[in-house]
Structure 1
């Protein structure tokens, strides 16, 4: 049965026992699976147990020439598992380095499609076909197209917004009605505390009377980009400084700069302060 036979001596489909109606039914199942893979790929989920569909379809195809009803039952069971298994489609694990889900590859689907098309073209040129060739061609086409759909329709990662930086200083800042920071003067500077209920992304700060742009840093000297709610940072200032400015953004609106202003009378000048 696996020996090469002229195509004219076989059934219209090229395999004995496989009618056109049966072949069209298998083709409809393959198209349904491709649509399912494409839909799940758009949701960011790749096939896992859903790959059982390929051997299940091959078992259904093999049941005709071999006339083994058990193969039909095995194929139908694999198709049902591929469709209704709880983890048939799942999100890939995130990469340890980049922290993003791995995109399905294109290499093996292209290899499968290339092999299937090569064997199909060889069979058409020679005018003969055998059962192993048909199985490899069908399996390669179904799995290859499914892999290509999963990789091609995979959602692209969201474009990361640029971290707010020095350019915020040249934009018109928003000064909130109620300050989102509180500060306390210390001997060598200022303790800046996030008084809002949400984390604030600090772009930079400067003394009130200096043309500077300084980064927020922790007590250990490491750079701080986000100051969580209720957390404090230490800003070194000279005793003669009379204020500071802090540029920051909210997590939900990273492109709108906000400005926190604070002014006070230095300790050295308090004796000359005039109260109106």
Structure 2
């Protein structure tokens, strides 16, 4: 056996884990980081994809413990993390908000994992030795921390409506509040349905829940952005259970220079038992 072969097969400090085996595990970690980064650019974050971390730890633990079953469990977890249909999913929408408001990954725990992993690694290097628990903790913290950091930073942010678009100027004008508005409203389980009851199309500049300083874009029930509401068509307005009204700024196709305001107020269902009538 050549000197190069002997150097490559030198143990890393853990019994049963050679440098070749450690490099193979490192290559798997890099492959997973690349997969997480690619999926994040596509707007998806890991779900069952996180099974890669315990799978990698099982492969690492199989050497020192000399348990072949752990190697099989690790391989199975890695395959599930790669090929499970829901391994990577789009972030969930926050209830009561516009469809673009989603639960994005946070940077706190990935940074905490990276810092903790580097601190453990530096202390082990200074001490000159590391036990099995320390090695597993360092690997788990670094692999999961880098993966979480990639998912949080590379996930595209939803495009917001620029405040200098023409419709935003209506927010600061004095609108006309028609006695018989061209819009009607019906409350649903998770919001409200806005319907154009006029014989002409209506251009909605934006809307806001009552007592809230907001400027939200109109969308269909499927979440598609919508600027013009044709005659007889409806749009979905997500509202929180404690919402007590909303405001809609719009213009008619026959009079685009005259901004109008649709106002609707009601008693929230959660406040019905406490309602007091004069």
TM-score over 0.5 (shorter chain): yes
**Matched length:** 189
SS state at 1:129 partner: coil
Gap runs ≥5 in structure 2: 1-8, 171-178, 183-196, 207-225, 234-249, 259-278
Larger Rg: 1
1:51-200 alignment to 2 at 5 Å? 51-99=50-98, 100-162=101-163, 164=167, 166=169, 193-195=198-200, 200=203
Cα distance change, pair 12–228 in 1 and its aligned pair in 2 (3 A): same
Question: 1-side partners of 2:155 and 2:47: how far apart?
Answer: 15
Gap runs ≥5 in structure 1: 1-9, 168-187, 204-224, 233-245, 250-256, 261-276
Cα distance change, pair 131–11 in 1 and its aligned pair in 2 (3 A): farther
Deviations 1:9-32 (CA, angstroms, capped at 9, x unpaired): x95422121111111111110001
Cα offset, 1:152, TM superposition: 0.8
**TM-score normalized by the length of structure 2:** 0.60
Q: Would the aligned equivalents of 1:112 and 1:140 in 2 still touch at CA under 8 Å?
A: yes
Q: Would the aligned equivalents of 1:202 and 1:248 in 2 still touch at CA under 8 Å?
A: no
* Residue 201 (structure 1) aligns with: 204
Q: Would the aligned equivalents of 1:11 and 1:17 in 2 still touch at CA under 8 Å?
A: no
Question: 1-side partners of 2:158 and 2:204: how far apart?
Answer: 22
Superposed CA RMSD:
3.3
Cα distance change, pair 154–166 in 1 and its aligned pair in 2 (3 A): closer
SS state at 2:167 partner: coil
Cα offset, 1:98, TM superposition: 3.1
**TM-score normalized by the length of structure 1:** 0.60
Greater displacement, 100-109 / 70-79? 100-109
* Residue 46 (structure 2) aligns with: 47
* Residue 36 (structure 2) aligns with: 37
